[in-house]
A = this chain, B = another copy of it.
């Protein structure tokens, strides 16, 4: 009899491990294959080529009942670009593949591409190819971004050392709360189509969800300041989950200080309205597309003086896999991938 193992028994990361274990690289110019934010390829004398790909599906990654196509176009580029930035690289080229049901008009696709082009202009990248195909239902979007990085500036997930300082760009938790508000308004609308959406004061978090920006500015600043991050990842799954990836790959632990977590005033406001803990949103929200990275202690002052939008949220320890949040009350709380538990 045939064995059948359900996909959810493995989970996404289990599936990726299973795939990558069975596909070891053989080409000498494959510097890093599956397992980081982007693949690292040797193509030139002084630089590596970075390659990252994403597949985004209607009904899973986006809901067109409240997502303008122009924003969606911008967001899919952000998602792809963010993976290249997370290697400390500069994004350069983009391909977009579309699977389209006949529900979509040419004007709808024009809107999508208006967003894609706006993002290309913002990130200074070129749209260089793609594929268009009919789909039986819905919208499927394949996004591939190619970038480059000087060989001595590539930042993997596994380079962090104990005592390195944990840095986070921008603020977190907003995109998740924006999504919750949009879902709430959708339900209200479905129950009573005459109701108007109540989102005016929540523009910030809604924007964080619908049209997030990738942090090209941070990668450029690090370059200008001459600071080399020891490890880097982008915050797409949520700060807790992505921190745990970085710790696991670097075989270190982490302490994060609650009072240092960057949470926007508007995120607090939305959290209060939705009765969600802002700390939970910040740790587990996801889709913020901020950069989480580590630096050596001697680079701290340079970064403190030279940047305005970086928070120093904690430091790394020599205890692999042990990540803890130090609360304002001084308690230590284990950070786990989904939610968090009091340790003792």
Contacts and interface: CB of A to CB of B under 8 A. Distances in A.
A160 interface: no
A229 to B, nearest CB: 21
B142 A53 contact: yes
A207 to B, nearest CB: 24
A41 to B, nearest CB: 6
Given A53-B131, A57-B133, A107 B5 contact: yes
A54 interface: yes
A136 B133 contact: no
Interface stretch (A42-50, A237-245, A248-256, A309-317): A42-50
A299 interface: no
B51 A95 contact: yes
Interface string A32-72: 11100011010111010101111111011100000000000
**Centre residue among A10, A47, A92 by max chain B CB count within 10 A:** A92
Interface stretch (A98-106, A211-219, A320-328): A98-106
Contacts of A274: none
B105 A7 contact: yes
B140 A137 contact: no
A27 to B, nearest CB: 5
A53 B95 CA distance: 7
A106 B7 contact: yes
A93 interface: yes
A125 interface: yes
Interface residues on chain A, size class? 35 or more
Interface of A: 2-10, 12, 15-16, 18-19, 22-23, 25-27, 29-30, 32-34, 38-39, 41, 43-45, 47, 49, 51-57, 59-61, 92-93, 95, 97-100, 102, 104-107, 109-110, 113, 116-117, 120, 124-138, 140, 142, 144, 146, 148
Ranked nearest first, the 10 interchain pairs of A and B with the lowest CB-CB distance are A39-B128, A142-B142, A55-B97, A44-B44, A5-B106, A33-B128, A23-B127, A39-B129, A43-B43, A25-B126
30 contacts: A3-B107, A7-B109, A12-B133, A15-B106, A18-B109, A18-B110, A19-B127, A23-B116, A23-B120, A27-B92, A27-B125, A30-B93, A30-B128, A32-B128, A33-B129, A34-B130, A39-B93, A39-B128, A44-B44, A51-B128, A51-B146, A52-B95, A53-B131, A55-B97, A55-B98, A55-B140, A55-B142, A57-B133, A57-B140, A59-B136
